[in-house]
Chains A and B, each alone.
Chain A
Amino acid sequence: AQSVTQLGSHVSVSEGALVLLRCNYSSSVPPYLFWYVQYPNQGLQLLLKYTSAATLVKGINGFEAEFKKSETSFHLTKPSAHMRDAAEYFCAVSLSGGSNYKLTFGKGTLLTVNP
């Protein structure tokens, strides 16, 4: 079975500070991993995805994530937080190969950015 665990249901940072959202996975096969963001009253938006091409994945809005097999991790980072980054973030693993058709998500991490 494949699953992801997001450490920390709520992360609070100051504007301009580093953002680090943690995600660990469990998978019996090489995983395909995703990060999604959900702004209030909007749908889940794909930030980035890991499909084994490169371990450091760059996404939209300045976010990136690094796949570390030895640590079974796929943490999301951004060097400098903006107020507009405040949202809920979900890590997910694919149940259908490299596509995002069937996913198992983590519980989500709410990011707040303080001025």
Chain B
Amino acid sequence: GAVVSQHPSRVICKSGTSVKIECRSLDFQATTMFWYRQFPKQSLMLMATSNEGSKATYEQGVEKDKFLINHASLTLSTLTVTSAHPEDSSFYICSARRTGHGAFFGQGTRLTVV
């Protein structure tokens, strides 16, 4: 199978701090990963496309300086929420592209900023 692991599954942080979320493809290499978020009672929306070795591509309305994406290896992409505020509290989920097989999702991270 194709397994994507996301860590942590839940995190609570104080307002003003930064938090990093990891997305790993455990049994395949992924040159491309995708980050989504879901605000309460809203749809799960694509935030950005993470490309190994190059800059991420952000969807319209997503602040790239606030949501830093790093895809330094073929199995790991990280999303860092910088200077987090309560309105950043959301469910974040990643997916990893496996060539010829589609994209596979992690289990998601529930971020609460207090």
Q: Which residue of B lies closest to A103 (CB)?
A: B46
Indicate if A56 sits at the interface (CB-CB under 8 A): no
B-side contacts of A38, CB under 8 Å: 108
Indicate if B45 sits at the interface (CB-CB under 8 A): yes
> Within the complex, which residue of A42, A101, A106, A108 is in contact with B34, where a contact is CB–CB below 8 Å?
A101
Q: How far is the CB of B11 from chain A (nearest CB, A)?
A: 15
CB pair A105 B104 closer than 8 Å: no
> Within the complex, which residue of B41, B43, B93, B95 is in contact with A104, where a contact is CB–CB below 8 Å?
B43
Indicate if A80 sits at the interface (CB-CB under 8 A): no
Q: Which residue of A lies closest to B93 (CB)?
A: A44
Docked complex Cα distance between A6 and B93 (Å): 19
A-side contacts of B95, CB under 8 Å: 44, 100-101
Contacts A41-B9, A43-B108, A105-B36 known; A100 to B43 CB distance under 8 Å? no
CB pair B102 A100 closer than 8 Å: yes
User: How many positions in chain B have a CB within 8 Å of any CB in the partner chain?
Assistant: 24
Docked complex Cα distance between A18 and B6 (Å): 34
Q: How far is the CB of B112 from chain A (nearest CB, A)?
A: 17
B-side contacts of A46, CB under 8 Å: 102
Indicate if A95 sits at the interface (CB-CB under 8 A): yes
Question: Among residues 57 to 114 in chain B, which have CB atoms less than 8 Å away from a CB atom of chain A?
Answer: 93, 95, 97, 102-108
Q: How far is the CB of B41 from chain A (nearest CB, A)?
A: 7
Docked complex Cα distance between A41 and B110 (Å): 11
Question: Among residues 56 to 110 in chain A, which have CB atoms less than 8 Å away from a CB atom of chain B?
Answer: 90, 92, 95, 99-108
Indicate if A114 sits at the interface (CB-CB under 8 A): no
CB pair A106 B43 closer than 8 Å: yes
CB pair A41 B44 closer than 8 Å: no
CB pair A101 B103 closer than 8 Å: yes
CB pair A43 B43 closer than 8 Å: no
Docked complex Cα distance between A38 and B38 (Å): 14
B-side contacts of A4, CB under 8 Å: 43
> Chain B interface (Cβ within 8 Å of chain A)?
4, 6, 9, 32, 34, 36, 38, 41-46, 49, 93, 95, 97, 102-108
> Chain A interface (Cβ within 8 Å of chain B)?
3-4, 9, 36, 38, 41-46, 90, 92, 95, 99-108
